[in-house]
Amino acid sequence: MAATKEVEFHNRLRLLRTERSVSRKELADAVGVHPQTIGYIERRQYNLSLALAFKLAGYFGLSLDAVFSPQAFEPLSDAALKG
């Protein structure tokens, strides 16, 4: 059996929570996990399941790739400069 290297996913959860004034607890309750789990996901200490990723993206009304990415997200300031 071939070993698979775990991919670490980047996410915009903290940014989205701050932008929309959503607490960890509110988000956690909405998607059915413990608030600590949201913290571990935000800090990339846990690679979440696809089902939970969809729930989180759905909560913010965004597509999956707008919230999660295998590559680091471009800083917002860079994106703004590009127009």
Partner 1 sequence: MNSRDQRRIFRHVNGPTADKLQDQQTRRVLVLACVASIAAVAIAFATFDNRFWLLVLASLPLGVATALLNFSLRGIFELKDELLDEYQISVRDKAYKSAYGFTLVFLVVVATAAAGAELDRVSAFALAAFAFLTCALAPRMLLAWRLENSHGGD
Q: Does 24 bind partner 1 (CB under 8 A)?
A: yes
Helix, strand, coil percent content, the chain, rounded in steps of 5: 55, 5, 40
Neighbours of 58 (CB within 10 A): 14
Q: State the distance between the two ends of the chain, measured CA to CA, in whole angstroms.
A: 47
Size of the site for partner 1 (CB under 8 A): 18
Q: Which is nearer to partner 1, 39 or 58 (CB)?
A: 39
Name which position in 10, 20, 35, 44 contacts partner 1 (CB under 8 A): 35
Binding site for partner 1 (CB under 8 A): 17, 23-24, 32-37, 39-41, 43, 45-46, 48-49, 52
